Amino acid sequence: MHQPQQVVTDRTQIHQFIQAGHVLQLALNDGVYPYVVPVNYGYVFDEAGQLHFYVHGAPVGKKRTLIAADPHVAFSIVADRAFEHTANSCTYWFKSVLGTGTATLLTDHQEKAQALQLLLRHEAGDQAHLDLTHKDLSHLGAIRIDVDQLTAKQHQPAE
């Protein structure tokens, strides 16, 4: 990493960065050029400490077609960003998480419901809840990303 002083390895801090973010830039393999799409996300650290992201969308489309062809993905999340400038300098403050993983297209209604609940909890808080019917879940495209590699960094003003 170009600026090792910005590296964050503390799991609690990384979790805070993920919680503070709201848009995950998802990069998929699409031949010569990557396809990048912004998505909202939910997440969970399982009992073994592995991170899983959940995203949703239509039950058909480019994102799902690309994942079916090649499930290897990359992602980035940027949180707490701000631009600051004076007459003599400028800087951009941020917290970020980058990584790679393997995406799975979810078909099980129970796992789709869990994915949507995690996404809703991340965006709206612990008290948020949806009552989804079997029909609702049939028309939902949900994806789980099992994270293989993760890095984080921050550039923040001195306190």
Name which residue leads in pLDDT, 98 or 155: 98
Could you read off the pLDDT of 99-123 as tens digits, one per residue? 999 999 999 988 988 888 898 888 8
Using the predicted structure, report yes or no on whether residue 144 has a pLDDT greater than 70: yes
Using the predicted structure, report yes or no on whether residue 85 has a pLDDT greater than 90: no
Tokens (6 digits) for 88? 């003599």
Give mean pLDDT, residues 23-41.
95
Q: What percentage of the chain exceeds 90 in pLDDT?
A: 47
Give mean pLDDT, residues 58-62.
91
DSSP string, 91-130: EEEEEEEEEEEEEEEE--HHHHHHHHHHHHHHHH-TT---
Write down the H helix ranges in the chain. Answer: 11-20, 62-69, 109-124, 134-138
Domain boundaries, the chain: 7-155
Look at residue 1 in the predicted model and tell me its pLDDT. 47
Give mean pLDDT, residues 134-145.
84
**Dihedral of alpha carbons 149, 128, 123, 58, sign:** positive
DSSP lists the bridge partners of residue 99 as 75, 150
Q: Which residues contact residue 33 at a Cβ distance below 8 angstroms, ignoring those fewer than 6 apart?
A: none
Name which residue leads in pLDDT, 122 or 7: 122
Least confident of 26-35, 70-79, 137-146: 137-146
Q: Judging by beta carbons within 10 Å of its beta carbon (0-12, 13-18, 19+), is residue 31 exposed, middle or buried? A: exposed
Distance between first and last Cα of the chain: 24
Using the predicted structure, report yes or no on whether residue 132 has a pLDDT greater than 80: no
Q: Which residues contact residue 16 at a Cβ distance below 8 angstroms, ignoring those fewer than 6 apart?
A: 95
Query: Which residue type occupies 90?
Result: C
Look at residue 143 in the predicted model and tell me its pLDDT. 96
Residue count of the chain: 159
Using the predicted structure, report yes or no on whether residue 15 has a pLDDT greater than 90: no
pTM: 0.84
User: How is domain 7-155 classified at the architecture level of CATH?
Assistant: Roll (2.30)
Using the predicted structure, report yes or no on whether residue 87 has a pLDDT greater than 60: no
